[in-house]
A = this chain, B = another copy of it.
Amino acid sequence: MKIGVFDSGVGGLTVLRALLRRVPADYIYLGDTARLPYGAKSRETVGRYAVSSAKFLVEEQGAEFLVIACNTASALALDAIRDAVTVPVVGVVETGANAADASSRTRDVLVIATAATVASHAYAAACGERQLRAIEKACPLLVPLVEEGWIEHAVTAEVLRIYMAELMEQARAAGLDADTLVLGCTHYPLLRAQIEKAVPEKLRVIDSAEVTADQVAARLGMGGDGIEASAKFFATDSVAKFRALGSRFLGREIDGVELVELGG
């Protein structure tokens, strides 16, 4: 079984990391680093980039199953990807909403994500389909803080305190009694411990990487634990940067990244 995992950059490696331990398969990871970040781009541009990336994984690399480990692409381009390839496609917005659905008793959930993911209201829509009310909040500083490596840092704690206070106030104003917080960006699992400290205890934090791996395992009927699957890595820009930054997300050294040219 060949599983393609796609993200605009290295963030999706948190999803791959969870998959490698849970689902035995040959993985092909593509980071479209030449065109990142998708988060600030329009639906049309993200669609074009995501479709060419998905086609590379399926048509050139033989992926039989696709995991869209990029919230922006899942939010803006999942239908376009499904139209463009013939293999099953799972996106992290759906898996996050599924997990929120399973977790929430009050049926009120909170979502934090990048500006583009929030602007798309993809989480609110996916939650709505599952009879959940959702409040979404953009947290644009969290990705650069993670990429700066300021994980356990006072500045990050203060930024999280501000963002989370604003989110709680939004929820209060809207009359929500939320019991679940979805991390709607693949960078955020690295901040999970800090986020849990910054929110009320009653909020269960949904880590998109973990829940995506669980759901892929369930869907393929072949999950396990402590598996050590293997992966090949492709990037559309500097392989050295991909390796250097990516190791933090994958939790181990990355070797053998191959450069690929996908055009405009």
Contact = CB atoms under 8 A, between A and B. Distances in A.
Interface of A: 33-37, 40-42, 45, 140-141, 143-145, 147-148, 150, 154-155, 158-159, 162, 237-238, 241, 262-264
Contacts of A33: 40-41
B34 A41 contact: yes
Contacts of A37: 37
B155 A148 contact: no
Contact of A237 (B42, B148, B150, B237): B42
A162 B150 CA distance: 12
A84 B143 CA distance: 35
A238 B140 contact: no
Nearest to A147: B140
Contacts of A148: 140-141
27 contacts: A33-B40, A33-B41, A34-B41, A34-B42, A34-B45, A35-B35, A37-B37, A40-B237, A40-B241, A41-B237, A41-B238, A42-B237, A42-B241, A140-B147, A141-B144, A141-B145, A141-B148, A141-B150, A144-B144, A154-B158, A155-B159, A155-B162, A158-B158, A262-B264, A263-B263, A263-B264, A264-B264
A237 B141 contact: no
A159 B36 CA distance: 25
Given A141-B148, A155-B155, 5 more contacts: A42-B237, A140-B148, A141-B150, A155-B158, A262-B264
A246 to B, nearest CB: 13
A40 B45 CA distance: 19
A237 B158 CA distance: 33
Contacts of A241: 40, 42
Given A45-B34, A237-B42, A264-B263, A144 B155 contact: no
A41 B159 CA distance: 27
